[in-house]
Chain A
Amino acid sequence: MMDAQDIQRCLEEAFPDAQVAAADSTGAGDHFAVTIVTDQFAGKSLVERHQMVYGALSALMPRIHALQLKTVTPSEPNAR
């Protein structure tokens, strides 16, 4: 059982300039949805972006069953 806040804090540390939004998608403490908007993703493929996020969360990953990721840069059209 984990809090979306744990994920939020961990990602804010790893991506200091990013806008991070982490939410518990089911309320059960193991399915999460995360949106990260940062320039650090510029020039990176989707796989590389997700690997950066998984890397930052490696300590928490064993307790996460599902993680939906949206990784964009501020200039990309679907950034909000």
Chain B
Amino acid sequence: MADDVSKEIDDEIRNNKIMIYMKGNPTFPQCGFSAATIEIFQELGKPFHTVDVLSEPAKRDAIKRFSNWPTIPQVYIDGKFVGGCDIVREMFTTGDLQKLVDHAFAS
């Protein structure tokens, strides 16, 4: 059961260049940190996929173990864990996030 969820996460981060695990959805985020993260990716203008962990409690626990990261939101780009809201915000400010996203969509 737990392995099924890990497999699902594995597929999600593989099949989506930008994968965001969040509380709520982009239209109705249920947490300020998820909202701030979505705003940044909307600004970057590339397609991204989200999973609402509030509607999938098993995935909420699984993603924390999967990433060794205790909080939501969590962002994966090109199958690689990037971080949570603070890291994404900092990388957006320095321009590193733009570079990472451009690189992901160029490949």
Known contacts A46-B90, A47-B81, A69-B86; is-contact A54 B70 (Cβ 8 Å): yes
A75 in contact (CB, < 8 A): no
User: Would you call B69 and A54 a contact (CB within 8 A)?
Assistant: yes
CA distance A51 to B69 in the complex (A): 7
* B interface secondary structure, majority: mixed
A79 in contact (CB, < 8 A): no
Residues of B within 8 A of A50 (CB): 69, 83-84, 86-87
CA distance A46 to B91 in the complex (A): 9
How many residues in B have their beta carbons less than 8 Å from beta carbons of A? 14
B71 in contact (CB, < 8 A): yes
A14 in contact (CB, < 8 A): no
CA distance A68 to B84 in the complex (A): 10
Chain A residues within CB distance 8 Å of chain B: 46-47, 50-51, 54, 58, 61, 66-70
Given A50-B69, A54-B70, A68-B86; 17 other pairs, CB 8 A cutoff: A46-B83, A46-B87, A46-B90, A46-B91, A47-B69, A47-B81, A47-B87, A50-B86, A50-B87, A51-B69, A54-B71, A58-B70, A61-B70, A66-B32, A66-B71, A69-B86, A70-B86
A-B contact pairs, 27 of them (CB 8 A): A46-B83, A46-B90, A46-B91, A47-B69, A47-B81, A47-B82, A47-B83, A47-B87, A50-B69, A50-B83, A50-B84, A50-B86, A50-B87, A51-B68, A51-B69, A54-B69, A54-B70, A54-B71, A58-B70, A61-B70, A66-B32, A66-B33, A66-B71, A67-B71, A68-B86, A69-B86, A70-B86
